Amino acid sequence: MSEKSPLDRLLARTDFKPFSGRHAFRVLELSRKKLMMPPVRDDDVLKAVSSLGLILETEVAMIVAIQETLCKRCGNCCSNRVHLRFRKEELKGVADYLHVEYKRLKDQLKATPMGDGTFIIAQPCSFLRNSLCSVYPVRPGTCRGYPSTDLLTSMGRGAPFDGCPIADDLLAEIVVKRALEEQMWRDHPEELKAMAEKRRVDLEKLASLPERERMKLLTKGYAKNLQSNTR
C-alpha cells in the first residue's frame, strides 16, 4: 500500500482548492444517500466532497457520459440559459438536418453573430418541442456538454450552480467513485493499483490527441461501459 491514499494525494496537489459552502453541503447530503453508509466511512465521503475542488479529465468524461441517462428532460437548459451559442458549422449542420437553407434558418432564429464564428440565438430555443430537442442528433456542443461544462465553469468561479436539476447528482457520482476507491485502497490495494495502471496506459494512448478529441473518446468509452452495465 502506498503511503498516501488516492484522496490524500489529490488534496496534496498544488493546484488543489477545497470545494466548500452551500453547494458542497448539498452534494454531501446526496452522496451520503447514494452510498447508503455504512460500509463507506463518513470521513471518506466528507473528504471526497471537499476534493471536488479538483476534477480529473477522466471524471469529466464520466459525468458527460452519465448526464444523458440522468437528464430529466425538463427543457430548462433550452429556455433559461444565459447564452445559447452555436458555431457556424453547427448551425449549418442543423440547416442540413432540417433541409432548410442556412441563411433562412439564421434569419428565422434571429441568430446574432458574435464576430468569432459563433452565433447567439434567442430563448426559449426554437428547436424545443414539448420539452424535447427536435434537432437532437445535431445539437451544438454547448448542448451536448450541458450541464457538465457549465457546472465545472461555475465551480471554477466558486459560484453555486443551480441551472440544472441533475448537476448535484453528477458531482455526487464523482464523490461515490472517489469514496469507493478510498475504501478499496484500504481493503484491496492491489486491485486498485491495477485499475489505476490500466487507466494510465489508456490515457497515455490518447495523450497526443487534441483535448476535444480526447474528451470525445473518453466519453464514448464511459458511455459504452454504461450501456453494457445496464444490459
Site of interaction with ligand SF4 (CB under 6 A):
71-78, 84, 125, 127-128, 133, 135, 139, 143, 146-147, 164-166
Q: Which is nearer to ligand SF4, 165 or 189 (CB)?
A: 165
Omega within 30 of 0 (cis) for the link into 147: yes
Torsion of CA 154, 160, 166, 167, to 10 degrees: 40
Which CB atom, from 73 or from 212, has the smaller least distance to ligand SF4?
73
The smaller minimum CB distance to ligand SF4, of residues 60 and 135, is found at 135
Nearest residue to 148 (alpha-carbon basis) of 133, 170, 132 = 170
How far is Cα 136 from Cα 144, in angstroms, rounded to an integer? 9
Residue number with CB closer to ligand SF4 (37 or 120): 120
What minimum distance in Å lies between the beta carbon of 187 and ligand SF4?
A: 35
In the complex, the smallest distance separating the C-beta of residue 97 from ligand SF4, rounded to whole angstroms, is: 11
- Cα–Cα distance between 159 and 165 in angstroms, integer? 16
Residue 11 Cβ vs ligand SF4, minimum distance, rounded to whole Å: 30
Contacts of 85 (CB under 8 A, 6+ apart): 114, 118, 119, 120, 121, 140, 142
Nearest approach in angstroms of CB 185 to ligand SF4 is: 33
